[in-house]
Structure 1
Amino acid sequence: MPLLRLPASRPGRLAVPSAPGTTRPGFDRRSFLGLSAAGAAALTLAACAGPSTASGTAPASAEALDYTGVKPASTISMWSSHPGGSQEVEQKIIDQFNASQSAITVSLVTAGANYEEVAQRFQTALAGGGLPGLVILSDVWWFRYFINDSIIPLDAVLDAVGMETDDFRPTFFADYQYDGAQWAIPYARSTPMFYYNKEHWATAGLPDRSPATWEEFGEWAPRLKAADTGVLNAFQYPAISGYAGWTFQNNAWGQGGSYSDGWDITIDEKPVVDALEWMRQGVNVEKWAGITSNDQATDIASGAVSATVSSTGSLVGILDTASFDVGVGFMPGGPTATEPVCPSGGAGLGIPQGITPEEQVAAATFLKFLTSPENAVAFSAATGYIPTRTSADVTGLVSAAPQIQTAIDQIEVVRTQDYARAFLPGGDKAVADGVGRVLTQDEDPQEVLTEVRGQLEDIYTTDVEPLLS
């Protein structure tokens, strides 16, 4: 199937999971969005602050940047949360870059344990200085940096260092485009996948494959529950705070719904309500499904559950830990659509607006090296994230772990994430909180999603639309 394209009336695209697998601290949306430059330093002592979207200048124009004659700075840093346990491979790539030339020295900085902590530290640096050359940006964070003019459009600086971008996977690369410019480069990219325990499948007499639809799995689940496997649950939903806003898009899309249509919020329409009601039934009525109290990748790898959905970034860890054959498959569809119903996720790398042109050129020079096809494969081999370059030789990866081929194949049916999650600051949390209320407190899906729609509309009209205008 050809890659999904946005309609012309919807500018730009965005996809990807707060990094799936990380835990997001709670935050107050009003203080988060109302943060001014003067108050930024004080708020860093609080939970997950993030950048302001309440004030600021218009985002920079790609045409306004000119790097003619600019020489790279001698030192820069890269801020990372080391997604997928990547600190060792990141340092190895940096060491190789530093040894390959003498003009630029790059240092690796652990700027936080997850994307949100990196965002908090970046916010502090925006107000007080000490910005990095490169900063890691998750799918639900880069757009607020765009509207607050905190990162530069990359087109001109990539041209200045001769970085070719034609072989980036189109769905990944286009995720960071808006208003006719490129705002980040794909780095730790993933999709959710369906993971299952092949031994449990065999015990229950199920075919050795993932379900084509969630309805099909609903027919399989009682057989898994009745089988003598000793599992906690036949299926384990991801932690509400880490995954729910990301993966629930899959359920909604399969029913023919969406969180939003462009900037129009549609999350409380019948298809989305039906998707959440189906999930509620499995958890609270039929009781074959549960919600992880820790990490669903750990639950499946330990054999405590028969199936789950988790990031491709969890693949290497699951395969290394599991003592059984792990099956993987595409994300299931629904009664209305079976493809494309899979969101992409993960993180990209951006360059701050508030550093010197010399530092920006140095950052772009290293970015070119870091995301080369060879290094994309090295990063994938260490983490399980999908190589971002189509020219990357994945033969060795697939030979070592054939399941990676499934992750790569699923890219062809990836769908762009809904604006309500990816573009609205705090949108992901609002959706996740709503899903959590239904699944953990057994509340009515229609009532909850109608409340969530109001929250999302308020975020847009108050905190996004004025800046876009």
Structure 2
Amino acid sequence: MSFRLDRRHFLGLAGAGTAAAALAACGGPDTSGTAATTAAADIDFSGVKPAAMFDFWSSHPGKSEDVEKQLISKFEAANPNIKVNLVTAGANYEETAQKLQAALAANTGLPAVSVLSDVWWFRFFINDSIISLDSLNKQLGVNVGDYRDSLVQDYQYNSKQWAMPYARSTPLFYYNKDHFKAAGLPDRAPTTWTEFAEWAPKLKALGAAQNAFQYGPLAGYAGWTMQNNLWGWGSGWSKGWDITCDSDDAVAAMQWIQDSVYKDKWAGVSSKDQGADFAAGIASTTINSTGGLVGILKDSKFNVGVGFLPGGPKASKPVVPTGGAGLAISAGVTKEQQLAAAMFIKFVGEPENAALFSSATGYMPVRKSADMTAVLAKTPQIQTAIDQLAVTKVQDNARVFLPGADQEMGKAVAKIVTQQGDVKATLADLKKTLTGIYEKDVKPKLKA
């Protein structure tokens, strides 16, 4: 498959059999037309008054329920005629998206504003289920240019804004400073995985932790975080639309991961939450979202260090994927609710409130002008997350644009890491599966 398409100009798919949206003439190919082609027209909100109440659906990313309630209280104090009803819509982004899909199918109970991950919002755009925020942002005086470029651009298509950054993250390398000191290791994250492979036996020999490193639950983390390993070894799940998960470099990366568990025996796999395992002292190091930073610091009884993700033998940077979620407004609610929701999104994104949310969770401050002085004085590790933005890389098409691919990646990695399956054969099977998804659900909807 030699077809190429810049991910900025591809809208993703709502699922198997869902038609793709039409693309503007911007150097890339077009898709067959759908309702999404008509969604670009801005809604006229002149003369509209905000609703007295609206629902805000969230999965409380980064254990953020308390700070969300705090932000809602501040918003309601500033806007006494508007009440925000916070709804726990799921335990994670996927459950929230599934609940929203169910509400859309039933055509009832839609939220005005919902937390949608940087992967899921594309699918709701395709269904014409969320609105462009441009006219609302203009009417409310939102300074979109003050949002961090790489974060706000993740929700832009055809020069329009479809969501605003909220709980945005990258993976971080977490390490137990006390274990590193006892093992005679430098007080920093490893530069490469090759370097860490030299350190890991020393950490394991300490006997202070069960594992030198803990991989995250594969169903939820493999497709996302292991892009770091694949990129570092010179490959990826895909390059453009070429599925490359079975390349020699990809096989080498996954073989190294399997060896760390079975052959070298210094790594383990978390059954639920690698951040919690790390904080409990089960592992000396792990990779976890920046959104878990504050919780890990709070729960750990030792000195916690954080650093950039390690590079690999072929690429030192960029090897860091972005992640997290934004806030989108439903198309199926009243204009009054949409306006009130937009006022809330603006409020949450104000520099002071962006800093507050970052301080409470560890997610990156989404505004350039957010004063992080007090936050960094209290939690200096957040600066590392901010600095790492400079070496982030757009995620592989195969993960974010092929419906169901993330789950298939998790299954394949689980077979390799928990069942000691043959690496080359497993990745070859994964390529067949991903290619099948592409050929059936994507390629027919694309034309040069």
Aligned match of 1:70 in 42, 48, 52?
A: 48
Deviations 1:302-342, CA, capped at 9 Å, x for gaps = 11211111111111111111111111110000111111111
Task: Assess if the C-alpha contact under 8 Å between 1:13 and 1:176 holds in 2.
Answer: no
TM-score when normalising by structure 2:
0.90
Task: Describe the shift of the 1:301–1:64 C-alpha distance in structure 2 as closer, same or farther (beyond 3 A).
Answer: closer
Paired residue for 2:288?
310
Paired residue for 1:277?
255
CA–CA separation in structure 2 for the residues paired with 1:177 and 1:183: 6
Task: Assess if the C-alpha contact under 8 Å between 1:74 and 1:103 holds in 2.
Answer: yes
Q: Give the deviation of 1:343 after TM superposition.
A: 0.8
Paired residue for 1:431?
409
Matches within 5 A, 1:53-132: 57-128=35-106, 129-132=108-111
Point out the more displaced range, 62-71 or 152-161. 62-71
Task: Describe the shift of the 1:11–1:196 C-alpha distance in structure 2 as closer, same or farther (beyond 3 A).
Answer: closer
Task: Assess if the C-alpha contact under 8 Å between 1:265 and 1:457 holds in 2.
Answer: yes
Q: Give the deviation of 1:168 after TM superposition.
A: 1.0
Paired residue for 1:44?
none
Q: How many residues align?
A: 429
Task: Describe the shift of the 1:57–1:466 C-alpha distance in structure 2 as closer, same or farther (beyond 3 A).
Answer: farther
1:204 aligns to 2:183 (yes or no): yes
Paired residue for 2:312?
334
Q: Secondary structure at 1:234's aligned position in 2? A: strand
Task: Assess if the C-alpha contact under 8 Å between 2:5 and 2:241 holds in 1.
Answer: no
CA–CA separation in structure 1 for the residues paired with 2:289 and 2:69: 23
TM-score when normalising by structure 1:
0.86
CA–CA separation in structure 2 for the residues paired with 1:35 and 1:125: 18
Letter in 1 for 2:148: R
1:141 aligns to 2:137 (yes or no): no
Paired residue for 1:363?
341
Task: Describe the shift of the 1:391–1:167 C-alpha distance in structure 2 as closer, same or farther (beyond 3 A).
Answer: same
Task: Assess if the C-alpha contact under 8 Å between 1:245 and 1:431 holds in 2.
Answer: yes
1:194 aligns to 2:173 (yes or no): yes
Task: Describe the shift of the 1:463–1:440 C-alpha distance in structure 2 as closer, same or farther (beyond 3 A).
Answer: same
Paired residue for 1:225?
204
Task: Describe the shift of the 1:178–1:468 C-alpha distance in structure 2 as closer, same or farther (beyond 3 A).
Answer: farther
Paired residue for 2:428?
450
Q: Give the deviation of 1:285 after TM superposition.
A: 1.0
Deviations 1:346-397, CA, capped at 9 Å, x for gaps = 1111111222223222211111011111111111111111111111011111
CA–CA separation in structure 2 for the residues paired with 1:35 and 1:112: 24
Letter in 2 for 1:194: F
Q: Give the deviation of 1:230 after TM superposition.
A: 3.0
CA–CA separation in structure 1 for the residues paired with 2:49 and 2:7: 34
1:173 aligns to 2:173 (yes or no): no
Letter in 2 for 1:442: Q
Task: Assess if the C-alpha contact under 8 Å between 2:227 and 2:236 holds in 1.
Answer: yes
Paired residue for 1:413?
391
Q: Give the deviation of 1:430 after TM superposition.
A: 1.3
Paired residue for 1:214?
193
CA–CA separation in structure 2 for the residues paired with 1:449 and 1:60: 40
Task: Assess if the C-alpha contact under 8 Å between 2:243 and 2:431 holds in 1.
Answer: yes
Paired residue for 1:5?
none
Letter in 1 for 2:281: G
Q: Give the deviation of 1:84 after TM superposition.
A: 1.3
Letter in 1 for 2:54: I
Task: Assess if the C-alpha contact under 8 Å between 1:133 and 1:355 holds in 2.
Answer: yes
Letter in 2 for 1:366: F
Structure 2 unpaired stretches of 5+: 20-32
Task: Assess if the C-alpha contact under 8 Å between 1:86 and 1:382 holds in 2.
Answer: yes
Letter in 2 for 1:380: S
Q: Give the deviation of 1:58 after TM superposition.
A: 3.0
Letter in 1 for 2:160: A
Q: Secondary structure at 1:166's aligned position in 2? A: helix
CA–CA separation in structure 2 for the residues paired with 1:288 and 1:85: 30
Q: Give the deviation of 1:164 after TM superposition.
A: 1.4
Point out the more displaced range, 59-68 or 299-308. 59-68
Alignment RMSD (CA, Å)? 2.4
Letter in 2 for 1:388: V
Paired residue for 1:267?
245
Q: Secondary structure at 1:346's aligned position in 2? A: strand
Deviations 1:92-151, CA, capped at 9 Å, x for gaps = 111111121244322211112222221222112112211111011113311211222221
1:12 aligns to 2:14 (yes or no): no
CA–CA separation in structure 1 for the residues paired with 2:256 and 2:269: 15
Task: Describe the shift of the 1:146–1:467 C-alpha distance in structure 2 as closer, same or farther (beyond 3 A).
Answer: farther
Seq. identity, %: 53
Task: Describe the shift of the 1:349–1:464 C-alpha distance in structure 2 as closer, same or farther (beyond 3 A).
Answer: farther
Matches within 5 A, 1:296-307: 296-307=274-285
Task: Assess if the C-alpha contact under 8 Å between 2:7 and 2:397 holds in 1.
Answer: no
Letter in 2 for 1:277: Q
Point out the more displaced range, 81-90 or 256-265. 256-265
Task: Describe the shift of the 1:9–1:127 C-alpha distance in structure 2 as closer, same or farther (beyond 3 A).
Answer: closer
Point out the more displaced range, 246-255 or 256-265. 256-265
